[in-house]
Amino acid sequence: MRILLLNGPNLNLLGTRRPEVYGPMTLTELEAQFAAWAADLAVSTVAFQSNHEGALIDRIHEARADVDAMVFNPGAFTHTSYALHDAIEAVEIPTVEVHISNVEEREEWRRRSVIAPAAVHRIYGRGTDGYRWALRHLVGRASSPAERIPYGPDSEQFFELRRGGTRLAVLIHGGFWRHTWAFDTLDLNAVDLSRRGWSVASLEYRRVGNGGGWPVTRADVLTATNAAAEAVAADSIVLIGHSAGGQLALEVASELGGETIAVSMGGVNDMVLAVEQRLGDGAAIDYLGGADPAPACPTRHPPPGPVVIAHGTDDDRVPFAYAERYVESNPARLLATQGGDHFRFLDPDDPMWTGIVEALEST
């Protein structure tokens, strides 16, 4: 697989142009880092940057002959260039639109993308690391195609389904319930489970900043889970959540009841503690919107079925105390990894993930 890294106007000034917004990495450094990320995923890359719309269009046309997918930061052309939209649509090459800054929380004109309807996914607000997430999404999409199924009228109410057996894994991404993080973070986990014969639904849901928050987000996850279970005629359901998704997995498993299995990976398992500690710069407070945290607290409302609490002892995003608080007061299988950090769960080859899969497959 070969992926084109395409950067538009003014991105040649990376590292010097407003580094407080776009970061200190230069374009040359970004292209080298992109190639290294791609090599880790066993794919190759080629890079191109131009400040001229016509040159970008020409390169997209040429891409039909030499690449399988594209990662594209169109710069300010994002908001105006229907010609670039048409070029992407015409060549039919899967393209992820990437923006370094959080364009959805900047000037109003930056929030409009005419490119997005032609792209397969859009990533913003994750810094230059957004390019790495785009790579992961394209590799996952190529190695295990998924069907996108809406479960509500909002553009964020959908899940990507990989059909397998009647045992359904529902993946719930984290990101402290904020809209800059999306379903793509668990793409490679979905591919891994799909290869093992599971049906896998990767959920998207409304988040803080795009119509979400408690209890709307919980309702989205519950509705999506039921829709995915119906789509594959599931005879068993495992909810697997990472970070804030761990809180949602436990909460929705309580709603579903029965023998639904819930797995929390580096999860925010105690919302009362999260509010007290202002975890994630007040992320739980923002999610709850001033509501009492107790009704949304998995520690106080545990699901009736089996629970797996997986956590790394060196997690600096959601401290290990959130795992300890849960297992102190509720029955659960604790998978503690000495020295494990918050993001190792997202690597399907890492023992922090494979240990979870082994636990599930032996259940």
Q: Where are the alpha helices (DSSP H) in 209-278?
A: 216-232, 244-256, 271-277
Of 183, 148, 142, 181, nearest to 162 by C-alpha is: 148
**Cβ partners under 8 Å of residue 137, min gap 6:** 96, 120, 121, 123, 184, 187
Secondary structure of residue 86 in the 3-state scheme:
helix
Indicate the burial class of 92 (C-beta count within 10 angstroms; 0-12, 13-18, 19 or more): exposed
Q: Is the dihedral of CA 278, 281, 282, 284 positive or negative?
A: negative
Q: Is 82 a catalytic residue?
A: no
Give the Cα separation of 22 and 290 in Å (integer).
32
Residue 174 structure tokens: 């984290």
In sequence order, the β-bridge partners of residue 2 are: 44
In sequence order, the β-bridge partners of residue 336 are: 311
The one catalytic residue in 52, 79, 85, 99 is: 99
Assign 3-class secondary structure to 20-34.
Answer: HHHCCCCHHHHHHHH
Give the Cα separation of 255 and 219 in Å (integer).
10
* Sheet arrangement for strand 44-49: 44-49, 2-7, 69-73, 95-99, 121-124
Whole-angstrom Cα Rg for the chain: 20
Q: Is 99 a catalytic residue?
A: yes
**Cβ partners under 8 Å of residue 239, min gap 6:** 170, 172, 225, 249, 250, 252, 253, 256, 260, 261, 262, 263
Residue 38 structure tokens: 């791609």
Give the Cα separation of 112 and 77 in Å (integer).
11
CB atoms within 10 A of CB 23: 17
Residue 351 structure tokens: 């023992």
In sequence order, the β-bridge partners of residue 201 are: 161, 170
The one catalytic residue in 22, 205, 287, 322 is: 22
* Residues involved in catalysis: 22, 99
